[in-house]
A and B are shown apart, each in its own frame.
Chain A
Amino acid sequence: MPGITREEVAHLARLSRLELKDEELDHFAEQLDVIIGAVARVSEVAGQDVPPTSHPLPLTNVMRADEVRPSLTPAEALSGAPAAEDQRFRVPQILGED
């Protein structure tokens, strides 16, 4: 299994929405390389005909009745918002200006 490069770590950081500093990239590249080297042992079983387990319980699609129930008020739901306006979360621009 190939090791992980500094460029790959920079790509993972972008995908993960982490604005890492240069020195962090170096440090994480080194550590992730060691960790990935150690966990790669699981691929020993890659060829085996074994069903995957994603979850310990055999539950699927637990449904509830579609009924109106008590819930948070708008003020409660917005109580932790970094910025709010007119009962909505106020966020930075998403689409850019045009």
Chain B
Amino acid sequence: MADLIRFTAAETAAAVASGDVSAVEVAQAHLDRISAVDEKVNAFLHVDTEGALAAARAVDDRRARGEELGPLAGVPLALKDVFTTKGVPTTCGSRILEGWVPPYDATVTRRLKDAGVVILGKTNMDEFAMGSSTENSAYGPTGNPWDLARIPGGSGGGSAAALAAFEAPLAIGTDTGGSIRQPGAVTGTVGVKPTYGSVSRFGLVAFSSSLDQGGPCARTVLDAALLHEAIAGHDPLDSTSVDAPVPPLVEAARRREIRGMRIGVVKEFGGEGYQDGVVQRFQEAVELLRELGAEVVEVSCPSFTLALPAYYLIAPSEASSNLARFDAMRYGLRVGDDGGRSAEEVTALTREAGFGPEVKRRIMLGTYALSSGYYDAYYGSAQKVRTLISRDFDAAFAGVDVLVSPTTPTTAFPIGERADDPMAMYLADLCTIPSNLAGNAAMSVPCGLAPEDNLPVGLQIIAPAMADDRLYRVGGAVEAAFTEKWGHPLLEEAPAL
């Protein structure tokens, strides 16, 4: 049998459906791979061997009974540890939830199970999804499979690293300011932030509710489309869920043709702070888009220069409120309950012991931004910036179908380099944040290796809200053209683990 861990999700599903291989064999091959390499990579916080094999057996049984299998039945997946999983630990990378076993499934978890997807386990992440490197996990950092001494991005570094290390062909992430796209870019994988509201947040532990969006991570654009279609769609359990049909994504990914599309290059994403090799690969990608028949123009979005400051007021403000639920009363850690201390004292001692430094920083920053006296200057202004950014996008999309930029200003940086310099860390999300503030759709797709360090560079594609299909059309065309140019997928150049 060919190397099952190198199959795409589409190939795996086809092989399982045809009976060339059983879902159990596929699951076992991936569990073996995790056993072999994850001590080095640390992509997984929890591996659910028993649950994965049981799910795979169920797919094999359904096939044996002659039932029709869905397009992802029997395909293994790595789930970011921020989605609840009934009976399987969920920590959000935090000590405060160590050992917590949720009594219910997130809607995303439920839809994956219903699709016959085999959930291998839960992946490492920056605590409560706050970070750009996965160094803020309470359970140790994840290594980038391209260079284990470097960060795999964050907050969803575990999900992206699991793909790049061939521990899973599919993964789920969440993107509040770039936590799917930035890890995708720095690991040479595909990551998509769907339109806000198009994938249910029910059972997704909240960081910043008006920005958080779950989405697909994969090694190919088509695999991402298959996974995106499996998890998207209206959910009555999420009051911010969009009640509108999901555009045909798989069809768009298969089209691989962009002749006549109008593509805008955002002028503000570039200049100081951008690594030379990133800019070079990005410009080559833009040239490729032209060769493929797209009409490329430069567009200006002047308010984007205020996106990062606005984000670091809005997201911490919402986080300071959302994380108030970790009060040591109903679930999770409880510290200092000696019979003499009050509930308030126990709460404060528990949060001190259970939260890491970045979470504490953001809770206090948000509390500050929402205080009377500062509210108008900070939170109020940030909300105005949000309106201005949406207007810039609207103006740009009046003239073009999609926008493109580098996904991140630099390639993967060494673990530890920015760990105690929050502002330097925050710059990793410079290009990804505007889409979260506006709620539109965006993808990162590999566009080569930076010549100076041989590390992956991502091309970001941004589409208007509910036009996620355009991401797949452009991403699919770019991926096909680059693969032909390189003679193989980018990940084949990654060193052996």
| Interface membership of chain B positions 437-475, coded 1 if the CB is closer than 8 angstroms to chain A and 0 otherwise | 111000000000000000000000000010000000000
Per CB-CB distance, the 9 closest pairs between chain A and chain B, nearest first, are A56-B439, A80-B331, A52-B383, A82-B334, A76-B103, A53-B386, A19-B348, A39-B309, A42-B381
Q: Which of A19-41 contact B (CB under 8 A)?
A: 19-21, 24, 28, 31-32, 34-36, 38-41
Residues of A within 8 A of B355 (CB): 18
The complex places the Cα of A15 from the Cα of B140 at a distance, in Å, of 29
Q: How many pairs of A and B residues are in contact by the CB < 8 Å rule?
A: 180
Min CB distance B81 to A, Å, is 15
Q: Which residues of A contact B (CB under 8 A)?
A: 1, 4, 8-9, 12-21, 24, 28, 31-32, 34-36, 38-46, 48, 50-57, 59, 62, 64, 72, 76-77, 79-83, 89, 91-94, 96
CB-based contact B306/A41 at 8 Å: yes
Residues of B within 8 A of A77 (CB): 103
CB-based contact B239/A59 at 8 Å: yes
With CB as the reference atom, state the residue of chain A lying closest to B349: A19
Residues of A within 8 A of B496 (CB): none
CB-based contact A32/B384 at 8 Å: no
Min CB distance A29 to B, Å, is 10
CB-based contact B352/A19 at 8 Å: yes
Partner of B306 from A4, A14, A45, A56 at Cβ < 8 Å:
A45
Q: Which of B318-346 contact A (CB under 8 A)?
A: 320, 324, 327-334, 337, 339, 341-346
The complex places the Cα of A31 from the Cα of B420 at a distance, in Å, of 9
9 contacts between A and B (CB under 8 A): A16-B363, A21-B352, A40-B309, A45-B384, A45-B385, A57-B242, A80-B100, A83-B337, A93-B343
Partner of B363 from A18, A46, A51, A93 at Cβ < 8 Å:
A18
Min CB distance B312 to A, Å, is 5
Partner of B352 from A20, A92, A93 at Cβ < 8 Å:
A20
The complex places the Cα of A39 from the Cα of B254 at a distance, in Å, of 42
CB-based contact A12/B378 at 8 Å: no
Partner of B210 from A28, A44, A55 at Cβ < 8 Å:
A55
- B197 is an interface residue with CB less than 8 A from chain A: yes
CB-based contact B381/A92 at 8 Å: no
CB-based contact B101/A80 at 8 Å: yes
Q: A28-B357, A45-B388, A64-B236 are in contact. List 19 more A-B contacts (CB 8 A).
A: A4-B368, A15-B367, A18-B351, A18-B363, A24-B360, A31-B361, A32-B361, A34-B422, A35-B312, A35-B422, A42-B306, A42-B384, A50-B384, A53-B384, A57-B197, A80-B100, A82-B328, A82-B332, A92-B339
A12-B367, A28-B361, A57-B240 are contacts. A46–B381 as well, Cβ < 8 Å? yes
CB-based contact A42/B348 at 8 Å: no
Min CB distance A34 to B, Å, is 6
Partner of A44 from B103, B306, B324, B327 at Cβ < 8 Å:
B306
Residues of B within 8 A of A92 (CB): 337, 339, 341-343, 345-346
CB-based contact B103/A79 at 8 Å: yes
With CB as the reference atom, state the residue of chain A lying closest to B355: A18
Min CB distance B428 to A, Å, is 15
CB-based contact A62/B364 at 8 Å: no
Min CB distance A92 to B, Å, is 4
The complex places the Cα of A95 from the Cα of B479 at a distance, in Å, of 62
A39-B313, A92-B337, A92-B343 are contacts. A18–B384 as well, Cβ < 8 Å? no
The complex places the Cα of A5 from the Cα of B104 at a distance, in Å, of 43
CB-based contact B368/A36 at 8 Å: yes
With CB as the reference atom, state the residue of chain B lying closest to A78: B330
CB-based contact A32/B365 at 8 Å: yes
Residues of B within 8 A of A17 (CB): 324, 327, 344, 347-348, 351
With CB as the reference atom, state the residue of chain A lying closest to B380: A52
Residues of A within 8 A of B2 (CB): none
CB-based contact A35/B365 at 8 Å: yes
Residues of B within 8 A of A39 (CB): 309-310, 312-313, 378, 382
Residues of A within 8 A of B103 (CB): 72, 76-77, 79-80
CB-based contact A46/B377 at 8 Å: yes
A38-B423, A43-B377, A92-B341 are contacts. A28–B368 as well, Cβ < 8 Å? no
- B124 is an interface residue with CB less than 8 A from chain A: no
Residues of A within 8 A of B339 (CB): 92
CB-based contact B388/A32 at 8 Å: no
